[in-house]
Amino acid sequence: MNLTIIGTGYVGLVTGAVFAERGHAVLCVDKVVEKIDLLNRGGMPIYEPGIEESVAASRKAGRLRFGTDIAEGVRSADVIFLCVDTPPHESGSADLSSIEAASNQIARHLDRYKVIVEKSTVPVKTGERVRQTIARKCPEGVEFDVASNPEFLREGSALADARKPDRIVLGVSSERAGAVLRSLYASFEAPLIVTDIPSAEIIKHAANSFLAMKISFANAVSRICELAGADVAEVMRGVGLDRRIGPAFLDAGFGYGGSCFPKDVAAFHRIAQELGYDFRLLQEVQKINEEQRQHVLHKLEQEVWILKGKRIALLGLAFK
């Protein structure tokens, strides 16, 4: 298929690279000229093991291109992926201005049936807003579908995650869009969940919030272990061996961080509020996470008395 990826950030580049590996013709479009120039010179605006080699091989084979012309991207594509940033507002809600801008540009250049896919992490009901925006401004009589296909990439192993995903989630509103996306993912060996668009949108926020909850739970247990003289590593190992729970994300430490968990937990809490539900559990997840950072600093102060002017080494620090 002919695919256009709008946005050449982390999600866009990895998505484009992996689809190009599978033999699809991929055009990655970005409004930032400097970023496209860098990619066309063989540079890379992100660090991810293996991505540079993957991109170089697909460019050499003629399956992967980079450009700034969104009109070309829209007209040439069978499927268009929205991989633009959705940074948080101070309130915790997602900034969807880039999604809206991309939707308006797609509408102006839509000339035949295409599937427009949300790949960015967005609040529930964003798909309907995208559909309405494009429907208002696209040429009369041109058909299209909007779909949701959330990403589940981890920094540092994103390429492996995209090549061999744990699951593929497709949120669609028509059999036609479902058939197109099933065909696109036919070569991937992974459980396929085909559902409605709102459910697919919530799956991403729910998954990341649940993982953040596991981290906060482990850190809360670590506080109890300190008071009781128990070994939290042994405790969580015993907990994680339960097949219903699993060992992942049960290591006590500084708490979660990075570009996804804080943003997604805050956004999901905000989404719940806007829908009329007080998601107090997520409030506690965030509270425990912040308290854990302060607790670690307090423990350091107990050990070295005064932190100011001290040189502190962090060994084995990961972004989560």
Residue of 28, 83, 138, 260 marked catalytic: 260
Q: What is the pLDDT of residues 156-175, one digit of tens each?
A: 899 999 999 999 999 999 99
Q: How far apart are the first and last CA of the chain?
A: 36
* 36 in Cβ contact with 67 (< 8 Å): yes
Q: Residue 258 pLDDT more than 90?
A: no
Domain with CATH 3.40.50.720 in the chain: 2-195
Q: What is the pLDDT of residues 50-67, one digit of tens each?
A: 999 999 999 999 999 999
Pairing of strands 144-148, 79-82: unpaired
Sign of the torsion formed by the C-alpha atoms of 220, 246, 270 and 85: positive
User: What's the whole-number average pLDDT of the chain?
Assistant: 94
Answer yes or no: 260 catalytic. yes
Give residue 307's pLDDT.
82
Domain with CATH 1.10.1040.10 in the chain: 203-304
Give the pLDDT band of residue 319 (cuts 50, 70, 90): low
Give residue 298's pLDDT.
87
The pTM for the full model equals: 0.90
* 264 in Cβ contact with 272 (< 8 Å): no
Q: What is the pLDDT of residues 113-145, one digit of tens each?
A: 999 999 999 999 999 999 999 999 999 999 999
CATH of 2-195, one of 3.40.50.720, 3.50.50.60, 3.40.10.10, 3.40.50.2300: 3.40.50.720
Phi, psi of 31, rounded to the nearest 5 degrees: -80, -15
- Is CATH 1.10.1040.10 correct for 203-304? yes
Q: What is the pLDDT of residues 61-113, one digit of tens each?
A: 999 999 999 999 999 999 999 999 998 888 888 899 999 999 999 999 999 99
